[in-house]
């Protein structure tokens, strides 16, 4: 990666343990990239000796990591080309306030504070240094346009901003102004490198395996593009098998219908565990990422690269950067099935070239390992704690109360509009 990542200050030696509160806006009922990021960051911070608590939505009975405190049920809303499960309203705000008071945190780390969920609520009532991470990448974001007036005053509480990629940073700058340091998403690289392949998923020269992971009923994940490319790939390599992991019956059924008799070459695995995912990526000859948009980073590409799979991905800006501009994996023109087929066929026909890219990928992914990423996050925490003004005075507490009341008034005024 280039840019702000390279200018990050080194973490201080002998830093005292911090009490860190992390707020995730999205529910653990249907975990995705942000939830996994929050979970793994909390785990690594704990491993390094810090005290961590995570607040996130989750229905009663939903299994959550031990570090996570459930804020209760979430509501499904459309957001950023997907369906997000968010928690908002007076009851959620009360839970946020109680959690913050009980935590006595040195720093609050809010993920996607512009999303109308727990992080936004936490920002309203925050009285300690705040670090905010922005994950979203969109050219035009209705959600940010709606959220900005709700949080205009509260944004001053954010002592430091993190963006997970240059694309997320650009979205933040264009919609909110200011700037952010780029710290990428993290991966436990060694866990994928050491993953054991599964014989049922391993390919042969005559029957190579091509893996895809993603929610099947989200068009932006690109399953439709892959299905349209498959006939040309199968004409060239009749024994090829496509291993498709992810939930979404409607997307699966649509793909099967579009494929017709070629659907026999697709094996739909459903949802897979973390261990199964790592094994799948370690087993497949190629991993394909045909996403059409809305991607700010590309965490699964890093996972596939760490596991040793050859990667073929759409040339989204985020994917291009993760693949070192094509040096660590092949790129094809976004949304074009014929070009995807070309890239897959080239990867299958040129094992030497694919091996060169895999070797480059194995070195390139080290910058995304959680050890390196967490060091950068801790450096931001230390800067925020050092620079943050203590909000202990009566005047400051009164300002917090005014900020929260103003926020609820703006919510009421925008009720009925598009909030996500």
The 10s digit of each residue's pLDDT in 56-89 is 999 988 999 999 999 988 887 766 556 778 888 8
Q: Note whether 149 and 114 are within 8 A (CB).
A: no
How much is the mean pLDDT over the chain?
86
pLDDT band at 126 (very low <50, low <70, confident <90, very high): very high
User: pLDDT tens digit string along 246-263?
Assistant: 999 999 999 999 999 999
Per-residue model confidence (pLDDT) at position 390: 44
Query: Tens digit of pLDDT for each residue in 6-57?
Result: 334 444 445 689 999 999 999 998 878 899 999 999 999 999 999 999 999 9
SS3 letters across 47-68:
HCCCEEEEEECCCCCCCCCCCE
Distance CA 164, CA 318 (A): 10
Burial class from Cβ neighbours inside 10 Å (0-12, 13-18, 19+) for residue 243 reads: buried
Percent of the chain clearing pLDDT 90 (strictly above)? 70
Q: What's the pLDDT at 172?
A: 87
Is 307 in contact with 197 (CB distance < 8 Å)?
A: no
- pTM comes to 0.81
Strand partners, 82: 79
374: confidence class by pLDDT, cuts 50, 70, 90: very high
Looking at 246-282, which runs of residues are DSSP E strands? 266-270
Task: Provide the pLDDT confidence category of residue 146 given band limits of 50, 70 and 90.
Answer: low
Closest CA to 291 of 267, 316, 255: 316
Judge whether 160 and 376 are in contact, CB under 8 Å: no
Checking if the pLDDT of 5 tops 60, the result is no
SS3 131: strand
Please name each of the domains of the chain with its CATH number.
3-186+369-414 (3.40.50.2000), 189-367 (3.40.50.2000)
Query: Which one, of 178, 189, 32, lies nearest residue 111 by Cα?
Result: 32
Measured between its terminal Cα atoms, the distance across the chain in Å is: 30
Top-confidence residue, 138 or 381: 381
Predicted confidence at residue 345, as pLDDT, reads 98
Contact 382, 103 (CB under 8 A): no
């Amino acid at each position: 990666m280039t840019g702000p990542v390279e200018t990050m200050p080194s973490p201080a030696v002998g830093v005292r343990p911090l009490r860190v509160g992390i707020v995730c806006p999205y529910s653990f009922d249907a975990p995705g990239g942000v939830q996994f990021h929050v979970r793994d960051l909390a785990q690594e911070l704990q491993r390094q000796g810090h005290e961590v608590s995570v607040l996130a939505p989750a229905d009663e009975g939903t299994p959550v990591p031990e570090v996570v405190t459930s804020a209760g049920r979430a509501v499904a809303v459309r957001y950023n080309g997907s369906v997000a499960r968010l928690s908002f309203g007076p009851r959620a705000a009360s839970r946020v306030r109680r959690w913050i008071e009980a935590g006595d945190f040195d720093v609050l780390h809010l993920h996607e504070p512009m999303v109308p969920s727990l992080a936004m609520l936490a920002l309203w009532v925050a009285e300690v240094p705040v670090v905010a991470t922005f994950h979203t990448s969109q050219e035009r974001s209705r959600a940010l346009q709606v959220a900005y007036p709700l949080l205009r005053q509260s944004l001053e509480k954010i002592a430091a901003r993190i963006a997970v990629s240059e694309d997320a940073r650009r979205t933040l700058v264009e919609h909110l102004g200011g700037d952010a340091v780029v710290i990428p998403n993290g991966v436990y690289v060694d866990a994928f490198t050491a993953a054991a392949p599964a014989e049922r998923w391993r390919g042969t020269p005559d029957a190579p395996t091509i893996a895809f992971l993603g929610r099947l009923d989200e068009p932006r994940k690109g399953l439709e593009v892959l299905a349209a490319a498959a006939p040309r790939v199968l004409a060239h390599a009749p024994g090829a098998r496509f291993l498709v992991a992810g939930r979404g019956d409607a997307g699966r059924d649509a793909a099967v219908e579009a494929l017709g008799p070629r659907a026999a070459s697709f094996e739909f695995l459903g949802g897979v565990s973390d261990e199964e995912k790592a094994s799948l990526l370690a087993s497949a000859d190629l991993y394909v990422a045909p996403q059409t948009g809305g991607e700010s980073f590309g965490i699964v590409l890093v996972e596939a690269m760490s596991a040793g799979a050859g990667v073929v991905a759409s040339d989204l800006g985020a994917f291009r950067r993760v693949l070192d501009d094509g040096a660590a994996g092949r790129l094809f023109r976004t949304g074009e099935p014929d070009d995807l087929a070309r890239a897959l066929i080239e990867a299958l026909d040129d094992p030497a070239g694919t091996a060169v890219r895999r070797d480059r990928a194995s070195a390139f992914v080290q910058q995304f390992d959680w050890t390196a990423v967490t060091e950068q996050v801790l450096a931001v925490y230390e800067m925020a704690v050092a620079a943050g003004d203590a909000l202990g005075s009566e005047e400051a507490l009164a300002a917090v109360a005014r900020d929260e009341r103003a926020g609820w008034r703006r919510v009421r005024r925008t009720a009925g509009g598009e909030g996500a």
